[in-house]
Every structure is written in structure tokens, then in C-alpha cells.
A and B are shown apart, each in its own frame.
Chain A
Amino acid sequence: MNSVLITVIQRLLLGLITLFFVSIIIFAMVAMLPGDFTQAVLGQAALEETVQAFRKELGLDQPAVYRYFQWLGAVLQGDFGTSFSGRASSGIDRSRPVLELIEPRLYNTLFLASMTAIVAVPLALYLGITAALHRNGFFDRLINTVTLVSISLPEFLVAYVLMALLAVLWPVFPPISEVRPGADFFDRLYISVLPALTLTMVTIAHMMRMTRAAIINLLASPYVEMARLKGVAQREIIIKHVLPNAWAPIATVIAFNLAYLVIGVVVVETVFTYPGIGRLMVDSVTTRDIPIVQACGLIFAGTYIFLNMSADIIGIVTNPRLLHPR
């Protein structure tokens, strides 16, 4: 047990170190973006002095390394800074803290991601296991074809087709998923159905196919033959003998898709005009709102690292060789 604990702690530390390096990369990338916020706001015609004064006010005149550590130090204390937008050269400051801007967007994104995951993950596992159980049978072929099609279609197409069918042809769900202020839980659920359905179709194929492959891979092992010759039924073999050894690859693919639900949904958000964090980041890149872009980048990286680390840890704690050392 001890050695597992040590491995898990090692993973956690490694995750933190990765996050640190990612923060450097994010900062460097943003710093290297052509053009800057002052130019974006003030326009090409602005006087050089005005530009310089504005830059100084925002702290952009400092060297990059200094700015990085200042930013990092603040982030470590939970302060992601203030958004650039809302400021103007006139000196009136209507800017808001980054966190205040990000929080509702992040909540929306996590809401959509959770809603999708709660449906997609169990469904993918169930379909994957069932397909493996009836390998090469009708159900297996059908589900393979369907998932292959859905994995091959670009997600915006899936989104528009769903919208055309379920919002236009049979207007069951709203085509636009604008979250109104004061919307309660069920309102949110209702407007999120179409984007969640799109994301389910996109992610389920991958997860289901990997689950099926992981199980079929293990079905060829001698201990499965042994179980058959002990008179264990096929369903029992998969649930009792195969699945406990298949968690590591399955967890990896689930983590990958969960991360995608947080990080990669900007297209779906745009199609349904859903106010998620992906759109916020893309908008901020266009306006050169550096603090927001950096915060979003860090959140995305953190999500990705956290989920992959969780998959690693699941792989470790379901491995009897590590869990029960000699």
C-alpha cells in the first residue's frame, strides 16, 4: 500500500511540475502574439506617447521575465489579475477582475461537460462491453459502423444536423443555447440538450471503441481460456475476469474525452452560441486581453493534467502487482 501511495504522490508532484512548465509556455506564447492590446484599443493612428503611457499603465513596459514572475506570484495567491477590456485611453477604468469574468463561463462549461459525461461515459462503457460480448455479431457491426460515422463527421456538421432535425424540423429544443440570467437548473438542462447531444455523439465513439478493443485484447489471454474451461459464462468472464484488468486503458480514454469536453468545445459553443469558457478565450485572443487568455490557458492545462493524472492513478491502483507487492 505504501509504495502505491508514494507513486501517487510522485504523480501529483510531476503534475505540478508539468503545470509550472506549461505556465511558462502559455506566458511566452501570449507574449509572442503579434500586436498588443494597446494597439488593438487605440488603433493605428494613436500617438506614440499615448501608446507608451497606456502600456505603462498596464505594466506592459516591464521586461517579460519580470512580468511572468509577477503574474505567477499573483496566480499562486489566487489573483488572476484584472481584465484589460473596459479600460480605455481616456483613463476611465471599468475593467473587472479576471476571475469574475471567467467564473460564470467556467460554470457553464463544466455544467455542459458534466451533463454530457454523465450520459456518455456509462453509455460508452455499456456499448463497448456489449459489443465485445457479441463480437462480430450484428450488434457489434452496427455499433461499429454508427460510431465510425459519428467519429468521422466534423462536430459542427453533427451540431447543425441535430439542430436542423430537433430545433427546426421538429422544434423540440431551442436552436440557441443562450443562458439567461436567473435561469434555474431545469432551464439550463433544457437549453443544453442539443450541445450535450452533439458532444455525446462526438466523444462516445472514441470511448466505446477503446473499451471494446481493450476487452477483446484481453479475451485472448490464457486466463480467459482457463475461466471458460472452469465453466464460467461469457458475461461473467467479461465482468469478473476481463474488466478488472482493462481499467487502465479505459480510464485513459475516458480522461482524454473528459478533458476534451472542457477544452475542445469551442466549436460547439459557437454553433449553439453557448456562453462557455472556450468562446471567452477565443474572444479574448482577438482583443488581446492577455490576463484572460493566460487564465484560460492555465485552467485548460490544469484540467488536462489533472484528468490524465487521474487516469494514471486509476491504472496504478487497479494493477494488483503494484497494489499488492511481493
Chain B
Amino acid sequence: MSTKSDLLLDMRGIKIEGFSDERWHPIIKGVDLQLHRGEVLGLIGESGAGKSTLGLAAMGFARPGCRITDGQILFDGRDLKPMKESEKRKLWGSRMAYVAQSAAASFNPAHRLIDQTIEASLIKGLKSQNEAKADAVELYRALQLPDPGSIGFRYPHQVSGGQLQRVMTAMAMATRPDLIIFDEPTTALDVTTQVEVLLAMRNIVEQFGTAAIYITHDLAVVAQMADRIKVLRYGEQVEEAETRRMLEAPQEDYTKSLWSVRSIQKPEETSEDYVLTLDGVDAGYTRSLKVLKNVNIKVPRGRTVAVVGESGSGKSTTARVITGLLPPSAGSVRFNGEPLPAALKDRSLDQLREIQMIYQMADTAMNPRQTVGEIIGRPLEFYHGMSGRKKEERITDLLRMIELDDSFADRLPSELSGGQKQRICIARALAAEPDVIICDEVTSALDQIVQEGILNLLLNLQEKFGISYIFITHDIATVKAISDEIVIMFQGEVVEQGLKSEILAPPHPDYTQLLLSSVPEMDPDWLDTLVTERS
């Protein structure tokens, strides 16, 4: 199907370096990439694999602190590598465009959306102001934005994340480029929103026959978008194949490991012995606006309750109520049947010890100036009054529990990997010897394989110490892997709570159905099937 003439992009022997710690490090170590007109190439890999760097290099662009040291980037027969920026600028925004991960940060807060959408067309003199605006409205309509005629006159902060992401796609499409780089465009979105955005992006790319490089770490997403998939790791290509073949018969061990990440299948267990209960909790940050409405949740002892919902559904607010950071305006929190004081400052040391928390960003949850030993040692002193030798021994014990050796005690957080940092946070929570640990999106910032390690560790610790987890997440795959019970939240209310098998099996309430059906599956036809079903 591809002849030589329809080759749009031909990158050969690309090497890119990044500057850090006073020297240049290789980021991309000699990668080839070919893309034909109208073709979508999926670029997948874990964080640090060099996906974005390679994607931007396809436009001849290197971020500040990066440089393309070797190779050629033939775009439509012209090599971008030796070109001056002023030359490349003629191609940028006209024949090639970029769609970034964070739409909220990538729009200028000071200008209306439509002015930003048509900016490139005006600079290049491709259209008159009125033509460009009319065209932008048509694109908004094609991307199924609500109120296409007037949404452009809003400012970026006035529309939702999913809408902003589609406006950015319209912006990229405005000059009908030959090539669009999609850089993790749906990673920051909720699953239900992601479906709409994916669909809109795929349709418009098909409609205009635009070639695209679609960068993501999510295999199931790329399976819906790409004709071919290229797997990257540590700046090198692992393998490349046509999408179906890649999904059915991956060749390399690394690729297979990406496929099999969700291998954990914890059998569900129930218990009538509840360690923590929330009864009719209302809570909010301002007097007038309730974020939580009559929330009832029961946490069985030694089990895992997954609290699932989209951003803004009240998951983290629930955690804040349980920990006492946000006293509820109505209802109560009971621990072992005894009501807990609503506010943190009224709780006894023991009550504080019983409930611990682990956060999404391990980085910001640790004092960067303290060693691991100090970080873990603090709750030992605070709750258990340990000091000296006894404390040192306990720190060594705790490090062993999280599968790290005692040499880590002298290290600083900056010397640890993402997964190791999260393990230290787990050890810090364990040090208090809690009954309940609230895990707030603890694996969301981690790569798939690292996630698996953390989840396994949490399960082992639960088995050993009988700790109960409240596992807050938006990731259904994680929920399937580790939970006993599931709580589904929507707009501050509990839609349903029950055993994993009950919740995941039909029939579902409407919202649960929408949420579960929106989780992309590793099947290239999933999106099409879903569209057919929903219409």
C-alpha cells in the first residue's frame, strides 16, 4: 500500500542528547522512523523512553536543554536537521503541528481560544481573519464541541479539560497540516472524556487524511488510534509492527511485559467486621457548595476498598474527611465502632496513628533534605517514642518489609527512583503501625511495571499485617487487580458499593456502565464497537 513517493517523513539514525548534571546524556540513541501520508504511527514506551523527544524531533524541534546530534529528518524530501529555525518556522504551524499533553498549560491564558486557533493561519497568510474564524467554527463542530459558534470566544480557563484538548486538536488542524504530533493528548483526561476526545481526533485525522505520530504510554489507547506501533525503551527501538500484529504476537520480551502488566488477580474476600465506616457524610470547602453529599462507605477489616470516580467526584475529599483534615458538615466517621472526632486537632495520638496516608506524588510527600532514615524514623519517634538503637533496628526492619536493604537509610529522596520513593512512603505509613492506610492514586505517576511491583508489595503487607486499604484511583485496571470491594463515586455521591464481582458484573447503574465501558481495551476494534453500541 505504500510506495516511495508517499513517504512523508523519513528519520534515520536520530541521536538526541539532553543536558543535565553539567554534561550531555544520550536520550535517543539512533532511531529510524518512517511515516507515510495519511498514516498514524503509535509511539509507546514508559516515561524516560524518549517518546516526546523523538516526536518533537520529527518537527525538527529540540526542547531547550536538548540537541539533535546526529541523523537526518527528511520531511517531504527536505532535511530539517541542518535548517535554521527561521526556515523551520515556515513549516511549523502550517505543514506540521503539535498537540500537547496538558491543554490547560499549552493555551495562553490571556487570549481567546479562537484567536489562538487561527493564529498560525494568519501568520502564514493562509486565510483572512474571517475565513479563518469560519473555518475554526467548522473544526469545532467536526470535533463535536458544544456550541461551536461561540465556544471560541471563551478563555482557556472557561472550558473543561476535554473540551480544551479538542480545541487544541482544532488548532493543530487549522492549517490542514500534513503531519500532527499528538503527545499524550488524553493522558490527563478522565476515561469517559477520553473516549470522546479519542473519537473526535481519530475522525478528523481520517477526514483530512493527515499523517500523525501518536505518543502514549497506554497500549489500549494507541491500539484505537494507530496503523502501526513502534515500541521505545531507553531511547532505542524495541520493535515495530502493524497494530494488529503487534497486539496479537509481540516479539520482544519487553513488549510482552507491557502487555502482561495486569497479571495480578487477587481473589476477593469479604468481611462483616468493619474497621471504618462513614455515615451520611456531607462536606465542602465553602459554606454554600457541598462537595460530598450523604456519603456512606464501609471498610471491612483487612480488606481493600477501591474508591473509583472521575476527577471532581469527591474521592480525595472523602480521604480528607477520614483523616480529619476536612471536618464534615454532617454525618460521622466511626473507627472500630467508636466515632472519631471530626477535626484533626481533636484526635488523640493513637487515633492519628491508626489512619495513615500515602500520596500520589511521592516526590512532594517527602522532605527532600531528609534522609530515608529520618523520614521513616519520624513516625517511630512521634507515635512510639523510639530512639537510638531500637529506632535504627526498626528502620532496617521496615526497609526490609518494602524490599529494600538498609543501605537506603542514608540516602536522600533525590537519589531514588520513582518506585523506590513510593516504597519509602509506604514504609513511613507502616512505621506508625496503622489499621487503615489511605492510598490516594499511589500508582498513577508510575510506569506499568513499577506499578505492578508496588501493588504486589501492598498486597503482601496486607496479608502479613491485616491492614485495611482505602484505595483511591481512577484506573479501573488497578481496581480489578487488587480490590475486594468497590465504591463508585460520581459528583460527590456514592453510586454504589459492593463486592468487586458484583460491581463489575452487569447489570450496572447508568453511570457505572458509562465508566466501565469507557475503559479502553487492548482491541483495535474496541472504539468502533463502543460507538456502535452507544449509538
The interface of chain A, by Cβ under 8 A from chain B, is 220-223, 225-233, 236, 240-241, 244-245, 318, 320-321, 324, 326
Once bound together, how far apart are the Cα atoms of A226 and B99, in whole Å?
8
Q: Which of A228, A230, A240, A324 contacts B155 (CB 8 A)?
A: A324
* A324 to B157 alpha-carbon distance, docked (Å): 9
Q: Which residue of B lies closest to A244 (CB)?
A: B110
Question: Does B111 contact A226, Cβ atoms closer than 8 Å?
Answer: no
A232 & B123 in contact (Cβ 8 Å cutoff): yes
Residues B108 and A241 in contact, CB atoms below 8 Å apart: yes
Could you say which residues of chain B place their CB within 8 Å of the CB of A226? 98, 100, 106-107
Are A222 and B102 also in contact (CB < 8 A) when A231-B120, A324-B158 are? Answer: yes
B90 CB-CB contact with A under 8 Å: yes
* Cβ contact within 8 Å between B63 and A320: no
Chain B nearest CB, measured from A194 CB (Å)? 41
Residues of B within 8 A of A227 (CB): 108, 119
Determine the distance from Cα of A326 to Cα of B61 in the docked complex, in whole angstroms: 35
What 15 new A-B contacts, CB under 8 Å, besides A227-B108, A231-B92, A241-B108? Answer: A220-B64, A223-B105, A229-B59, A229-B61, A229-B98, A230-B119, A231-B91, A231-B124, A232-B120, A241-B111, A244-B110, A244-B111, A245-B108, A320-B157, A324-B158
A228-B92 contact in complex given A222-B100, A324-B158, C-beta closer than 8 Å: yes
Q: Is B295 in the interface zone, CB < 8 Å from A?
A: no
Residue of A233, A244, A320 with most chain B CB atoms under a 10 A cut-off: A320
| Nearest Cβ on chain A to B95's Cβ, whole angstroms | 10
What is the minimal beta-carbon distance from A245 to any residue of chain B, in angstroms?
Answer: 5
- Which residue on B lies nearest to A221, using beta carbons? B105
Contact A321 B157 (CB under 8 A): yes
Name the B residues within 8 Å of A229 (CB-CB): 59, 61, 92-93, 97-98
Give residues of chain B (79-138) contacting chain A, Cβ–Cβ below 8 Å.
86, 89-94, 97-98, 100, 102, 105-111, 119-120, 123-124
Q: Which of B94, B106, B154, B155 contacts A223 (CB 8 A)?
A: B106
Pairs across A and B, CB under 8 Å, 6 listed? A223-B107, A225-B63, A227-B119, A229-B93, A229-B97, A230-B93
Complex Cα spacing A23 to B148, Å: 56
- Nearest A residue to B98, CB-CB: A229
For B123, what are the chain A residues with a Cβ–Cβ distance below 8 Å? 230-232, 236
Q: Restricting to B49-99, which residues have a CB under 8 Å from any CB of A?
A: 59, 61, 63-64, 86, 89-94, 97-98
B interface residue count range (under 10 / 10 to 19 / 20 to 34 / 35 or more): 20 to 34
Q: Please indicate the chain A residues that have their CB under 8 angstroms from the CB of B93 in the complex.
A: 229-232
Give complex CA distance A232, B108 in Å.
13
The residues of B that contact A320 with a CB separation of less than 8 Å are: 109-110, 155, 157
With a cutoff of 8 Å between Cβ atoms, the chain A residues found around residue B108 in the complex are 223, 227, 241, 244-245
Known: A222-B102, A225-B63. A231 touches B94 (CB 8 A): yes
Whose C-beta in chain A lies nearest to the C-beta of B96? A229
Q: Quote the shortest CB–CB distance from B42 to chain A (angstroms).
A: 21
CA distance A231 to B108 in the complex (A): 15
Chain B residue contacts of A222, Cβ below 8 A: 100, 102, 105-106
Using Cβ atoms and an 8 Å threshold, which residues of chain B touch A232? 89, 93, 119-120, 123
Please give me the residue from chain B that is nearest to A318 by CB atom: B110
Query: CA separation between A221 and B92, bound complex, in Å?
Result: 18
Which residues of the other chain, A, contact B89 by a CB distance below 8 angstroms?
Answer: 231-233
Most chain B CB inside 10 Å of its own CB: which residue of A226, A233, A321:
A226
CA distance A228 to B63 in the complex (A): 11
Q: Considering only CB atoms, which chain B residue lies closest to A246 in the complex?
A: B110
Distance of A244 Cα from B109 Cα, bound (Å): 9
* Cβ–Cβ < 8 Å partners of B154 in chain A: 324
Q: In whole Å, how far is A246's beta carbon from the nearest beta carbon of chain B?
A: 10
User: Shortest distance in angstroms between A236's beta carbon and chain B's nearest beta carbon?
Assistant: 8
CA distance A318 to B110 in the complex (A): 8
Q: Residues of B contacting A326 with CB < 8 Å?
A: 157-158
In the assembly, what is the distance between CA of A236 and CA of B120, in Å? 12
A residues in contact with B120, CB < 8 Å: 230-232
Top 7 nearest A-B pairs by Cβ distance? A231-B93, A230-B93, A244-B110, A231-B92, A222-B105, A229-B98, A230-B120
Chain A contacts for B100, CB-based, 8 A? 222, 225-226
- A245 contacts which of B59, B63, B110, B119 (Cβ < 8 Å)? B110
Q: Residue of A at shortest CB range from B94?
A: A231
With both chains docked as a complex, state the minimum distance between the C-beta of B183 and any C-beta of chain A, in angstroms: 10
Partner of A230, one of B92, B157, B158: B92
Please, how many angstroms separate the alpha-carbon atoms of A324 and B124 in the complex?
A: 30
A227 → B minimal CB distance (Å) = 7
* Residues on A with beta carbons closer than 8 Å to the beta carbon of B91: 231
CB distance from A241 to the nearest CB of B (A): 5
Q: Hey, which chain A residues are within 8 Å of B102, CB to CB?
A: 222
Question: What's the Cα separation between A98 and B93 when bound, in Å?
Answer: 65
In the assembly, what is the distance between CA of A245 and CA of B123, in Å? 21
Q: How far is the CA of A320 from the CA of B112 in the complex (A)?
A: 10
Specify which chain B residues have a CB less than 8 angstroms from the CB of A318 in the assembled complex. Answer: 110
Most chain B CB within a 10 A radius of its CB, from A223, A227, A241: A223
In the complex, the answer to whether B90 meets A245 with C-beta atoms within 8 Å is no
Q: Kindly identify, within residues 19 to 67 of chain B, every residue whose CB is under 8 Å from any CB belonging to chain A.
A: 59, 61, 63-64
Cα separation A241 to B108 with both chains bound (whole Å):
7
Contacts of B92 in A (CB 8 A): 228-231
Task: Using CB atoms, name the residue of chain A closest to B168.
Answer: A226
**Which chain B residues numbered 394 to 429 have a C-beta less than 8 Å away from chain A?**
none
Provide the residues of chain A in CB contact with B64, threshold 8 Å: 220
Proximity bits, B133-160, A CB within 8 Å = 1, else 0: 0000000000000000000001101100
A220: chain B residues at CB < 8 Å are 64
Give complex CA distance A241, B156 in Å. Answer: 14
Chain B residues near A244 (CB-CB < 8 A): 108, 110-111
Q: Which of B64, B97, B108 has the most CB of A within 10 A?
A: B108
Cα(A321)–Cα(B157), bound, Å: 7
Chain B neighbourhood of A241, CB < 8 A: 108, 110-111
Closest to A241 in B: B108
Contacts of B106 in A (CB 8 A): 222-223, 225-226
Shortest Cβ gap from B127 to chain A (Å)? 14
Determine how close the nearest CB of chain A comes to the CB of B202; give it in whole angstroms.
22
Name which residue of chain A comes closest to B64, CB basis. Answer: A220
* C-alpha gap A324/B109 in the complex (Å): 11
| Chain A residue at smallest Cβ distance from B115 | A240
Give the contacts of B325-350 with A (CB-CB under 8 A): none
Which residues of the partner chain B approach A233 to less than 8 Å between Cβ atoms? 86, 89
How far, in whole Å, are A232 and B59 apart by their CA atoms in the complex? Answer: 15
Interface pair B105/A245, CB less than 8 Å apart: no
Question: Measured between alpha carbons, how far is A240 from B116 in the docked complex, in Å?
Answer: 11
| Complex Cα spacing A102 to B362, Å | 62
A-contact 0/1 string along B426-441, CB 8 Å cutoff: 0000000000000000
Interchain nearest-CB distance for A316 vs B (Å): 14
Whether B97 contacts A230 by the Cβ 8 Å rule is yes
Residue of A nearest to B107 (CB): A223
Nearest CB of A to B50, in Å: 17
Identify which of A220, A221, A244, A324 gathers the most chain B CB atoms within 10 Å of its CB. A324
CA distance A220 to B63 in the complex (A): 10
Docked CA distance A223–B171 (Å): 13
Q: Mark B212-234, 1 if CB is under 8 A from A, else 0.
A: 00000000000000000000000
Cβ contacts under 8 Å, B110 to chain A: 241, 244-245, 318, 320
Query: Could you tell me which residues of chain B, from 235 to 276, have a CB within 8 Å of some CB in chain A?
Result: none
A54 → chain B, closest Cβ, in Å?
Answer: 60
Docked pose: A70 CA to B268 CA in angstroms: 81
